[in-house]
Chain A
Amino acid sequence: MSVKGILQSGMFYIDHLSSESETDARDIEQFQIDAPEGQGLSDYLKRYARQEEMNRSMRTYLVRDKETDECVGYFSLKAGLISLNEVEVEVEDSATGETRIEREFDTLPGVELANFAVNSDYIKKYPYQKGVGYVIFKKFIIPMIDAVSENVGVKMVYIFALPYGRLMKRYERYGFCRLSDSQEADLHKRLKPRYDESCKFMYLVLE
């Protein structure tokens, strides 16, 4: 039996989204997200995912069932970082003992899990299959990011989660952490007055 996809688990496999695949086009067209807060994820997949593949600004993967080839979910990854503004630091010259001011700038490299959704139609068809999201995260998303980190500096995986308790708890189950209340409040101040609410920055440190 031929091996399906670029990576497999016990139940599923993934393929990189192809703009030329009719199967991918069909699966994207039929992909369903029932939760109202997930409509942005559905819009992205149907309207923008293939274009962003072609212009290299995102990498999207479709997850399929090994036995039935049904589309189970999708996720998108892109390179990113967080950075400090330039800060002035007093530095002592060890030879002369003199101090001078230097401007420093620091970054933490990461991979953004930009999109992650499970196909509601698949879940409804197989309601006894519990933990599909967790399996996709551990069996595919983490290994894909690990593979990148073998060759490029990656300190963390991060997401910008919609501020719904149920959703953030799910990400915490996957190992993501939140910043403190005061840090989140200070980040939100950088947004207003343009937006009413902030997505929450959540991160997971890699080993």
Chain B
Amino acid sequence: MATITRYGKPNMTGLPKDLGVSIFKTILSTPAPNFHKMEQEADELERKMKMERERHKANVG
């Protein structure tokens, strides 16, 4: 018989003191990602997508 694994979302509200304080500290001490670098990467990916699409059209056409 196939088994089914059930996934639950952890409750992130009303966190008990020790766990909650440690999670808050972890989150608040995490630096933000480099959004400028991410923007450049996304632009580059789209540039390549456009290039590949044009190349594909030229090959098919």
CA–CA, A142 to B42, complex, Å?
Answer: 12
Task: From the candidates B11, B16, B30, B48, name the one contacting A205 in the complex (CB within 8 A).
Answer: B30
B-contact 0/1 string along A180-192, CB 8 Å cutoff:
1001001110110
Q: Are B7 and A138 in contact, CB atoms less than 8 angstroms apart?
A: no
Does A198 reach chain B (CB closer than 8 Å)?
yes
Q: Are A203 and B46 in contact, CB atoms less than 8 angstroms apart?
A: no
> Smallest Cβ distance from A71 to chain B, in angstroms?
16
CA–CA, A71 to B31, complex, Å?
Answer: 34
Q: Are A187 and B19 in contact, CB atoms less than 8 angstroms apart?
A: yes
**Cβ of A154: which chain B residues have Cβ within 8 Å of it?**
none
CA–CA, A191 to B6, complex, Å?
Answer: 11
Does A82 reach chain B (CB closer than 8 Å)?
yes
Q: Are A85 and B56 in contact, CB atoms less than 8 angstroms apart?
A: no
CA–CA, A68 to B29, complex, Å?
Answer: 44
> Smallest Cβ distance from A206 to chain B, in angstroms?
6
Q: Are B38 and A175 in contact, CB atoms less than 8 angstroms apart?
A: yes
Does B8 reach chain A (CB closer than 8 Å)?
yes
Does A201 reach chain B (CB closer than 8 Å)?
yes
The winner among A131, A155, A197 for most chain B CB atoms within 10 A is A131
Q: Are B42 and A139 in contact, CB atoms less than 8 angstroms apart?
A: yes
CA–CA, A156 to B43, complex, Å?
Answer: 23
Select the stretch in A17-25, A53-61, A122-130 that faces chain B: A122-130
Instruction: List which A105-162 residues lie within 8 A (CB) of chain B.
Output: 106, 108, 126, 128-132, 134-135, 138-139, 142, 155-156, 158, 160, 162
Does A196 reach chain B (CB closer than 8 Å)?
yes
> Smallest Cβ distance from A169 to chain B, in angstroms?
15
Q: Are B6 and A135 in contact, CB atoms less than 8 angstroms apart?
A: no
Task: From the candidates A108, A131, A160, A195, name the one contacting B27 in the complex (CB within 8 A).
Answer: A108
Task: From the candidates A9, A191, A207, name the one contacting B46 in the complex (CB within 8 A).
Answer: A9
> Smallest Cβ distance from A199 to chain B, in angstroms?
5
Q: Are B47 and A156 in contact, CB atoms less than 8 angstroms apart?
A: no
**Cβ of B38: which chain A residues have Cβ within 8 Å of it?**
138, 142, 175
Q: Are B7 and A163 in contact, CB atoms less than 8 angstroms apart?
A: yes
4 shortest A-B CB distances, which residue pairs? A195-B8, A175-B33, A10-B46, A131-B45
5 example contacts (A-B, Cβ-Cβ < 8 A) are as follows: A82-B24, A83-B12, A194-B6, A197-B7, A199-B10
A11-B50, A139-B46, A179-B23 given; 8 more Cβ-contact pairs under 8 Å = A82-B12, A108-B28, A128-B53, A131-B49, A162-B7, A194-B6, A201-B12, A203-B27
